[in-house]
Amino acid sequence: EVHLVESGGGLVKPGGSLRLSCAASGFTFSDYSMNWVRQAPGKGLEWVSSIDRTSNFRPYADSVRGRFTISRDNAENSLYLQMNSLSAEDTAVYYCARSEYSGSISYYDYWGQGTLVTVSS
Amino acid sequence: DIQLTQSPSFLSASVGDRVTITCRASQGISSFLAWYQQKPGEAPKLLIYAAFTLQTGVPSRFSGSGSGTEFTLTISSLQPEDFGTYYCQHLHSYPRAFGQGTKVEIK
């Protein structure tokens, strides 16, 4: 069974850094692209970043580009999100999600339970 | 960047009603669209991908249609467990985007 478990969230001061992790199990992690999606309290879903199987393609949302870095360790079956220069606008639940494909059409078929990041002084 | 606009933002319907949610894309996205359901305190759950393909295990009362710029999610007979917020997402290009969500309440 596919499982995605995020960790690393917590309370951080503005300007601070945090590294999120997503531990994957139940599938061959290296065969799948992965994604981070966030949700501010009471708000909708926002795509943050994606990473392909070999880490060669890593697009970012404009709101995080230059501050966040997505990475993965296929040997450890883990996805990461390094977040720097955090501000209150980054306060959200962060979800990792797996990309599956039907031909050339992708979709996010499995999601973790999320980890809460709170940026506050 | 491609934007998605969902309508309505909120709907209240009775058990057994037919419910339709619309998602409009700011430019053509072919069939690169997915629908998700999210209940309070839970992660989103995939319902439909490639605009109309039902994810395994999702009840057949859910259906998707459309292509290009206009898409719909239909629940043929609303059930009590269908409450929650529904989001469309395009996967045509980067940045990916979600619609703003449609909150469904059971009367």
Render pLDDT for B21-63 as a digit per residue (tens, 0 to 9). 999 999 999 999 999 999 999 999 999 999 999 999 999 999 9
Residue B59 burial (CB count, 10 A): 13
Give the pLDDT confidence score for residue A38 in this predicted structure: 98
Give every residue of chain A whose pLDDT is below 50, as ranges: none
> Alpha helices of chain B — where are they, by DSSP H?
none
Q: What angle (nearest 5°) sits at the alpha carbon of residue B84, between those of residues A108 and B26?
A: 55
Contact B46, B53 (CB under 8 A): no
Query: What sign for the dihedral angle of Cα B92, B89, A99, A103?
Result: negative
Best of B42, B96, B98 to mutate (most A CBs within 10 Å, chain A): B96
Q: Is residue B86 predicted with pLDDT exceeding 90?
A: yes
Per the CB < 8 A criterion, the answer to whether B80 and B17 are in contact is no
Q: What distance in Å separates residue A108's CA from the closest CA in chain B?
A: 7
Q: Which chain A residues have any C-beta within 8 angstroms of a chain B C-beta? A: 35, 37, 44-47, 50, 59-62, 95, 97, 100, 102-103, 105-109, 111-114
CB within 8 Å: B44 and A95: yes
Whether residues A47 and B96 touch (CB distance < 8 A) is answered with yes
Nearest to A45 among B94, B95, B98 (CB): B98
Sheet with B19-25, side-by-side order of all strands:
B4-7, B19-25, B70-75, B62-67
What pLDDT shows up at residue A103?
86
Say how far residue A104 (Cα) sits from the centre of its chain. Answer: 22
Tokens of B10: 């909120």
Nearest partner of A96 among A79, A83, A116, A121, judged by Cα: A79
Considering only CB atoms, which chain A residues are within 8 Å of B32?
Answer: 105-106
Res. B106 pLDDT band, cuts 50 70 90: very high
Q: How confident is the model at residue B2 (pLDDT cuts 50, 70, 90)?
A: very high
Q: Chain A: nearest CA to B93, how far in angstroms?
A: 10
A108–B34 C-beta distance less than 8 A: yes
| Residue A107 Cα, gap to closest chain B Cα (Å) | 6
d(CA B98, CA B107): 26
Instruction: Confirm if A36 and A51 have CB atoms less than 8 A apart.
Output: no
Interior CA angle at B19 toward B18 and B20, to 5°? 130
Of A93, A102, A121, nearest to B40 (Cα)?
A93
- B72 CA to centre of own chain: 7
